[in-house]
């Protein structure tokens, strides 16, 4: 039951962050929405920094689990991790809530560099399954960076991308995760 309480607090805090932004995220704002006392909140998260760390971990764990689920369905080992990352970023429909959480998460990491380091650790876990050879590793990183750019465009509405255009971009990025023919001939 304590873990369920902790998760409910984190999910509520993420919602508050999405709705009110980093400045609106307070311990009191979270307590107003959960069926627990402030003492219960403070038991799990003694201060706002601990709450923010828990939120980054919750979002990172969820994202990595989504990537691992996509990877588990991919029969081709070469580039599996990068393709799973792309699918997690590209395939899921972007909702207003996703945009709000993404913007708020970026703001929080910009405000507190230690939290950015925490997110970086989760993204290292998300790189499992990438090719180990330098060329393949570079290709996988390039595809991840392209996906991150698309994600940023989604967050800020930088480009108006139609569903057909998004599908075409996804195909181009996915093509960058397969073994080049020259590499195949060597094996």
Mean pLDDT of 39-66: 92
Mean pLDDT of 76-81: 88
Q: What is the pLDDT of residues 115-160, one digit of tens each?
A: 999 999 999 888 877 777 777 788 888 888 999 999 899 888 899 8
Please report, rounded to a whole number, the percentage of residues in the chain having pLDDT higher than 90: 38
What is the SS3 string spanning 1-13?
Answer: CHHHHHHHHHHHH
- Ordered by where they begin, the domains of the chain are 2-178 (1.10.357.10)
Mark residue 128 as left, alpha or beta (left: phi above 0; alpha: psi -120 to 50; beta: remaining): beta
Q: Mean pLDDT for the chain?
A: 86
Q: For residue 75, what pLDDT is reported?
A: 92
Asked whether 130 and 137 are in contact (CB, 8 A), the reply is: yes
Q: Model pTM?
A: 0.84
Q: For residue 68, what pLDDT is reported?
A: 92
């Amino acid at each position: 039951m304590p873990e369920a309480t902790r998760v409910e607090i984190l999910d509520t805090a993420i919602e508050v962050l999405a709705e009110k932004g980093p400045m609106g995220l307070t311990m009191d704002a979270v307590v107003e929405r959960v069926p627990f006392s402030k003492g219960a909140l403070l038991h799990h998260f003694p201060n706002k920094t601990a709450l923010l760390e828990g939120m980054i971990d919750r979002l990172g764990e969820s994202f990595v689990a989504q990537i691992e689920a996509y990877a588990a369905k991919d029969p081709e080992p070469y580039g599996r991790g990068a393709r799973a990352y792309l699918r997690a970023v590209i395939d899921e429909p972007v909702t207003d809530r996703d945009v709000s959480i993404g913007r708020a998460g970026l703001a929080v990491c910009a405000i507190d560099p230690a939290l950015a380091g925490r997110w970086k650790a989760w993204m290292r876990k998300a790189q499992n399954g990438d090719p180990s050879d330098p060329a393949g590793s570079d290709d996988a990183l390039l595809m991840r960076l392209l996906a991150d750019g698309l994600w940023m465009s989604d967050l800020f509405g930088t480009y108006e991308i139609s569903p057909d255009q998004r599908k075409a971009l996804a195909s181009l990025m996915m093509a960058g995760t397969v073994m080049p023919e020259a590499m195949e001939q060597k094996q």
